[in-house]
Amino acid sequence: MNLLELYTLGFGRGLLVAVLLLVATATLDAITTSELSLAAIYLFPILIATWNCGPRWGAAFALASCLNQFLLGVAQGYPQSTLFYFTIVNVNRTITYLLFVYLANQLRRLYDDERDAARLDDLTGVRNRRGFREVMQHEIYRHARSGLPFCVAYLDCDHFKAVNDQRGHAAGDDLLRAIARSLCQQVRRSDTVGRVGGDEFAIIFPETEGANLLNVVAKLRTELAVVVRPFGEVTFSTGVVTFPVPPDTADRAIQLADRVMYRAKSSGRDGTMWDVFEAEATPRREAAEADA
């Protein structure tokens, strides 16, 4: 484990590592001479607890560290100072540690905001391809454990280039925003909408059977037809893939859904094709048009 991995441990492992580091630091502090201060070393378990477990745990570790150093100083008779100055030093140390927790927590919040922003599409506000892939990989792991199926729908805007050419790129941007907004309003909170290409969107439907999803997709397409009507003759080619068994990677899942979408596009556009993925084979050709 390298140093950077200590800050991506999650709550449980982060708390365990922080406890072990605090115990090790306190033990080392107890067996070394009072002339050697380990005050800076205590910052490591405090930082790990704050980053992985939150500011309350960070504050708890900060106070525990201060209490341990205070008790050690009392046991040693604070040989380097008088009781008055010893008390002031410990109060200052406590304030410093708590300030450190506050700053570490603020840094973590900024880090999370920047990480989330890097995974969102600037234009539409939905997940970009990178963010969508990460959610997809998480769902693959989750469904592999649960054994439940999930589905992916892939939508391509058939006449997007014509909108850009005839109405301008600003109209094209408005169209993409309208599509993203409509999709987000219609899906469940557990579903994930992503813009995975210039005029291509994909949706992850966790714990969903494909046969049940076709009616949902038909409704999505009906609502989209209303939303895009002001932009001219805009239609959608849609591919839907059911994954009874998850593929190995997110890229594989997206590739399969994209392939089914292109089957719908090559069949005359403005239609939906459905397929089923089994193990690591090519999807079965059980696709059928759901709508014209």
Q: Which CATH architecture has domain 129-276?
A: 2-Layer Sandwich (3.30)
Structure confidence at residue 4 as a pLDDT band (50, 70, 90):
low
Look up tokens 């920047």; give the residue.
Answer: 114
Res. 278: pLDDT tops 80: no
- At residue 3, the pLDDT reads 58
Per residue in 38-56, pLDDT (tens digit) is 999 999 999 999 999 999 9
Res. 27: pLDDT tops 60: yes
For 43, the token pair is 């910052």
More confident residue, 185 or 76: 185
- At residue 268, the pLDDT reads 82
User: What mean pLDDT comes out for the span 187-192?
Assistant: 93
Share of the chain above pLDDT 70, in %: 93
Per residue in 93-114, pLDDT (tens digit) is 999 999 999 999 999 999 888 8
- At residue 289, the pLDDT reads 42
- At residue 282, the pLDDT reads 44
Per residue in 202-258, pLDDT (tens digit) is 999 999 887 778 888 889 999 999 999 888 888 999 999 999 988 989 999 999 999
Structure confidence at residue 155 as a pLDDT band (50, 70, 90):
very high
Mean pLDDT score of the chain, rounded to an integer?
Answer: 88
Measured at the CA of 13, the angle between CA 20 and CA 107, to 5 degrees, comes to 95
User: What mean pLDDT comes out for the span 73-101?
Assistant: 89
Measured at the CA of 222, the angle between CA 218 and CA 228, to 5 degrees, comes to 135
- At residue 1, the pLDDT reads 52
CA 148 to each of CA 85, 135, 188, 244, 254: distance values in angstroms, whole numbers, following the listed order: 64, 16, 17, 7, 18
CA diameter of the chain: 88
For 220, the token pair is 């999505």
Res. 176: pLDDT tops 80: yes
Give me the residue spans of the domains in the chain. Answer: 3-117, 129-276
More confident residue, 76 or 187: 187
CA atoms of 99 and 62, how far apart (whole Å): 10
User: What mean pLDDT comes out for the span 166-194?
Assistant: 93
* Residue 17 dihedral angles phi and psi, to the nearest 5°: -65, -40
- At residue 140, the pLDDT reads 93
CA 131 to each of CA 31, 204, 237, 263, 273: distance values in angstroms, whole numbers, following the listed order: 49, 12, 23, 26, 25
Structure confidence at residue 86 as a pLDDT band (50, 70, 90):
confident
- At residue 174, the pLDDT reads 94
Structure confidence at residue 269 as a pLDDT band (50, 70, 90):
confident
User: What mean pLDDT comes out for the span 182-208?
Assistant: 93
Q: Supply the pTM of this predicted model.
A: 0.68
